[in-house]
Amino acid sequence: MKPIILIPGIEATALANANTFDFASVWNAYDSIGTSLFTKVTGPYITDRLQLDPLYDEQNSSLIERNHMARLPYERTVINLANKLKETGDYSPIYLFGYDWRLSNAVNGKRLYDFTQYLKRKLAANKEDPWEGFRFLTHSMGGLLFSCYLGELKGHYDDIDKAVITAPPFLGSPYALIHMIKGDGGVKSFLNSIFGRNEDIRKVVRTYPAVYELLPWYDQSVVYEDSGKNVDLTQTNQWQSNIGDDIPEIFKARLKELAEFRKSKLFPLQKLPDELRTRILVIAGSGDDTASQLKVRKEQGKISNFVIIDDKRSVKIETGDGTVPLQSATAHKDSVKTLVVFKTGLFSEPTDSLDYHGLFLRDSRVQNILLRFFTMNVMAAKVRAGALTTVQGPNPNWWKSIGDTVVNASPF
């Protein structure tokens, strides 16, 4: 038995106030296109800020917990995967790891570790089909959470059979910064478009560690307009001066936490053992216009470090999945096998046009890749002389028959 654990992206888990008689909803997951649009128009608004210690809500009466996971982006994938497993005689369960996505991925990485330990004890009772490791499937920010989970393992990776990381913002996305400043559709996703409907909500979101952890930090992602030098978003004095002025203590703390997160909490995949990396696959999206660079004007009126968002000439557009730039999603292509799936037309993959990033796991080519990787006796790479090399032997190019809209970004 090799259970699959699905780790979704930001906002994909409904949140509820457990300190009520009916678990009152404070954030709706997106179960269908209709409910998503209805929620966008009518609410609910997420209004609870987090305290300086981001484990806790500001309101003493609120005890926020996870509820169900969004159906729209994930249900079809889970059903198809379960059916395919059964066809091969594999009745391994699929577990949904929903989580409070407001919190740091490091916190949720620890919770994922506790969850896997719980599952191991639960499954130990099954003597006929013993547990042999977990297969992980992540989407979007779930890839950062999984990276933090790897750090919790302290070098002991026996629990991992395989892992597929899809649409990962390894080095963040400019849309996170746009979202924090302007509230322009959250992280540019159909599923995230409820965020940012007014200034109050933007200020609430600025207390959430996870949003900071999605800020871009690859070279030339945010630059000064005059010099072209990188802006360091872990430094308070390089932020737009009117951001965080209502929560100065929390804002400074979040930036300090962000620097520590990047330095020691987000586990670098390239440091994983070679053999383990043969069992990890990254799937990135490309072919959709994606903001890849924002420019900062040192002074505009009374505002310093003004992020130029409304002038399209100052927002560099390159390729990606519409939310995550390709250079962020493929950041580990030299050490972990990375496949790139190109966006297709409306009639080929309708969900690509609706929201390529948010509905990435609904793409039939993505499903085909992960089904093959999880169900066939295939690997992402092989180890030879201490380095990863191209797979040889049976099924060496197991992904190529999907078509020319899927390409290998790795040198092996």
Confidence of residue 371 (pLDDT cuts 50, 70, 90): very high
- Looking at residue 193, its pLDDT comes to 43
Q: Is the pLDDT of residue 396 over 90?
A: no
Nearest to 353 by CA among 398, 394, 321: 321
Give the percent of the chain with pLDDT over 90: 75
- Looking at residue 45, its pLDDT comes to 60
CA–CA distance from 50 to each of 56, 185, 251, 258, 372 (Å)? 6, 21, 11, 16, 41
Confidence of residue 383 (pLDDT cuts 50, 70, 90): very high
Q: Are 207 and 213 in contact (CB under 8 A)?
A: no
Q: Is the pLDDT of residue 358 over 60?
A: yes
- Looking at residue 182, its pLDDT comes to 79
- The C-alpha atoms of residue 160 and residue 181 are separated, in whole angstroms, by 39
Q: Are 194 and 39 in contact (CB under 8 A)?
A: yes
- The C-alpha atoms of residue 201 and residue 47 are separated, in whole angstroms, by 6
The string of pLDDT tens digits covering residues 234-258 is 999 999 999 988 899 999 999 999 9
- Looking at residue 203, its pLDDT comes to 82
- Looking at residue 39, its pLDDT comes to 56
- Looking at residue 127, its pLDDT comes to 83
- What is the β-pairing status of strands 64-69 and 24-27? unpaired
Mean pLDDT rounded to a whole number for the chain: 90
**Cα 207 vs. chain centroid, distance in angstroms?**
19
- The C-alpha atoms of residue 50 and residue 295 are separated, in whole angstroms, by 29
Q: Is the pLDDT of residue 139 over 50?
A: yes
- What is the β-pairing status of strands 280-286 and 160-166? parallel
Q: State mean pLDDT over 260-283.
A: 96
- Looking at residue 195, its pLDDT comes to 47
Residue 218: its H or E element: none
Nearest to 300 by CA among 282, 314, 279: 314
Nearest to 356 by CA among 281, 403, 287, 294: 287
- Looking at residue 33, its pLDDT comes to 62
Question: 41-55, 173-187, 194-208, 313-327 — which is least confidently predicted?
Answer: 194-208
- One-letter amino acid of 224: Y
- Looking at residue 395, its pLDDT comes to 81
Q: Is the pLDDT of residue 322 over 50?
A: yes
- Looking at residue 188, its pLDDT comes to 42
The domain limits of the chain are 1-412
The string of pLDDT tens digits covering residues 11-63 is 899 999 999 999 998 888 877 666 555 555 555 567 789 999 999 999 999 99
- Looking at residue 122, its pLDDT comes to 95
Q: Is the pLDDT of residue 191 over 60?
A: no
| Burial class of 309 by CB neighbour count within 10 A (0 to 12, 13 to 18, 19+) | middle
Q: State mean pLDDT over 315-321.
A: 96
